Amino acid sequence: MEERKENIMGTRPVSKLLPGMAFPIMLSMLVQALYNVVDSIFVSMVSENALTSVSLAFPVQSLMIAVSVGTGVGINALLSRRLGERNFEAANRVAANGIFITVLSWAAFAVFGALGSGFFMRAFTQNEEILSGGTAYLRIVTVLSLGLFMSVTMERVLQVTGNTTYQMISQMVGAVTNIALDPVLIFGLLGLPALGVAGAAWATVIGQFCGMTTALVINHLKNHEVRLQFKGFRPDGQAIRGIYQVGLPSIIMQSIGSVMTVGMNKILIEFTETAVSVFGVYFKLQSFVFMPVFGVTNALVPIVGYNYGARSKERIRQATRLALGMVLAIMAAGTLIFQLAPRWLLGLFNASETMIGIGIPALRIISVSFCFAGAAITLSSVFQALGDGVLSLIMSVVRQLLLLLPSAYLLARLVGLDAVWFSFLIAEAASVTLAVVFYRRVYRDKIAKL
């Protein structure tokens, strides 16, 4: 049997380990963000209604990402702890059962997409162009979402080895494929028919399957920490419970974002469909800022989880402090760009003057909250790595359901459209306050006792 070497998450200096793990993930996530933006830029060239249809479908895509990433967080955190404990047999069970529940998650969304896409879109609009394009887009990206679910899971399994370059390769293969296929399938290049909004959906799922295939091959060839074996496989209730102990709060927490997006779309569409497009464009643009942040926190989770299993208090503290510094620097740069160049950013999406008039104050107001959001996301990741995902869930419920949506509704009714965007600042300030309070408690009860 091949001897397993000491995992670098327990040996390499944190000042080198975290950036070394984070930068490949950040790069791949920036490519993912680029895909999101390019995808919408091409769709906006079809029409503003096409852009609106994709924006209305976005909450369901966000929900799929929430379930896949949340499950991946649970797999990642539990795998990291088992490897930190040197319990390799248990680690292998975690990985196999993680793939099992990943496939079940895809099946649930495939059924919803096949049967409920039209119903979902009709809940927002009766505009025939928006309805037709949105239904086709949503049905394709849900029914054929196995590539999304499996690629995320296999990337998280790769991540626990500490070599995030492999994860970067997988993500970049999927994103680059998507970007290359977008104009071909949307506008009908190279002799292919012009599919419009549906073409964007096909480009998305083909890219996801390419990323999945790459991740599976790399895991088979390069991952010697975790060995995937399915001969005689039976679901292991203990492993599945362990995954969802961390993963379920993360799934719910991120799913709340989909609920928030649906609610905001309902509030905004009362003013104009263009406001929905602005909100959709904002989410595409902010991904350039938030994706690198998630790259840092994705690297932070296995480091904290491994060193918690290895009972190394100082390495947990060092990693958390360094991650906070990196995240706040990224968020400050994002705020500056949104403040100085909102018109140019909106112009990327073929924005009309009406869209620019709504979008400039939106981008400037929301971006003030970026640094608050970054600090809260970082501390939330620490909670997840330590098995306290419920604290992250509480933060998300307070931020998005108890504060953001109600304040957006009240500001819309009492002041007007431009005031709606201040709800983000209110919610993020409360979220970071909760994060600090929770971190002090977690540090006292768990980290300080190591």
pLDDT digits (tens, 9 = 90+) for 317-353: 889 999 999 999 999 999 999 999 999 999 988 888 9
Confidence of residue 223 (pLDDT cuts 50, 70, 90): low
378: its two tokens: 């970082």
370: its two tokens: 């970026």
Does position 8 have pLDDT exceeding 90, yes or no?
A: no
Higher model confidence: residue 343 or residue 11? 343
Confidence of residue 3 (pLDDT cuts 50, 70, 90): very low
**Worst-scoring range by mean pLDDT, 24-28, 51-55, 102-106, 145-149?**
24-28
Averaged pLDDT, 170-197: 89
Confidence of residue 239 (pLDDT cuts 50, 70, 90): confident
Q: What is the pLDDT of residues 258-279, one digit of tens each?
A: 888 889 988 998 898 889 889 9
Does position 241 have pLDDT exceeding 70, yes or no?
A: yes
Confidence of residue 164 (pLDDT cuts 50, 70, 90): low
Confidence of residue 70 (pLDDT cuts 50, 70, 90): confident
Q: What is the pLDDT of residue 2?
A: 44
Averaged pLDDT, 18-41: 79
Q: What is the pLDDT of residue 427?
A: 94
**Worst-scoring range by mean pLDDT, 9-18, 298-307, 408-417?**
9-18
What are the residue ranges spanned by the domains of the chain?
11-447
Q: What is the pLDDT of residues 81-117, one digit of tens each?
A: 777 777 767 777 778 888 899 999 999 999 999 999 9
Confidence of residue 61 (pLDDT cuts 50, 70, 90): confident
Distance, CA of 233 to CA of 2 (rounded, Å): 23
Q: What is the pLDDT of residues 363-397, one digit of tens each?
A: 999 999 999 999 999 999 898 888 787 888 888 88
Averaged pLDDT, 192-218: 91
Q: What is the pLDDT of residues 172-185, one digit of tens each?
A: 888 889 889 999 99
φ, ψ for residue 185, nearest 5 deg: -85, -30
Average pLDDT, the chain: 86
Q: What is the pLDDT of residue 109?
A: 95
Does position 249 have pLDDT exceeding 90, yes or no?
A: no
Q: What percent of the chain has pLDDT over 70?
A: 94
Winning range, highest mean pLDDT, from 5-9, 208-212, 256-260: 208-212
Confidence of residue 162 (pLDDT cuts 50, 70, 90): low
Q: What is the pLDDT of residue 1?
A: 39
Kindly calculate the radius of gyration of the chain based on its CA atoms and give it in whole angstroms: 21
Q: What is the pLDDT of residues 390-444, one digit of tens each?
A: 888 888 889 888 999 999 999 999 999 999 999 999 999 999 999 999 999 998 8
Confidence of residue 44 (pLDDT cuts 50, 70, 90): confident
